[in-house]
Amino acid sequence: MIHYTCDRCKRQINIADQTRYIVQIDIRSAVDHSQEELEDDIDHLAELHQMLEGIADSDIEEESCESSHHGRYDLCPECHRQFLKNPLGRDATLALGFSNN
């Protein structure tokens, strides 16, 4: 049986009677748009070329960049609820003030 652990509270998620929530985070820096498009085209062509040559490697897509972050986290139902209340981890008092609006 596969055991999942909540990435927030580190409790084990018993998928037999609990729902496991997956949070996917994809952060990118907001770079100049025209430049980004140009780079995307180049990357795409290079990728296609590598595929044609049969040397495509899954690592190529995982190009690590300091300004971007990909994350995938498991959450238990309780942490999922807390996450929805405050997805950006804002100060608790600020979040409270916001919800009292």
Residues that bind Zn ion (CB under 5 A): 6, 8-9, 76, 79
DSSP symbol at 98? H
Lookup result for tokens 């997956």: 22
- 8 vs 56, beta carbon nearer Zn ion: 8
- 7 vs 56, beta carbon nearer Zn ion: 7
| CA geometry: angle 24, 30, 31, nearest 5 deg | 130
To Zn ion, the closest distance from the beta carbon of 82 in angstroms equals 8
- 19 vs 29, beta carbon nearer Zn ion: 19
To Zn ion, the closest distance from the beta carbon of 95 in angstroms equals 18
To Zn ion, the closest distance from the beta carbon of 7 in angstroms equals 8
To Zn ion, the closest distance from the beta carbon of 8 in angstroms equals 4
CB of 83 closer than 8 Å to CB of 8: yes
- 8 vs 20, beta carbon nearer Zn ion: 8
As a whole number of angstroms, the distance between CA 72 and CA 29 comes to 18
Lookup result for tokens 């049986």: 1
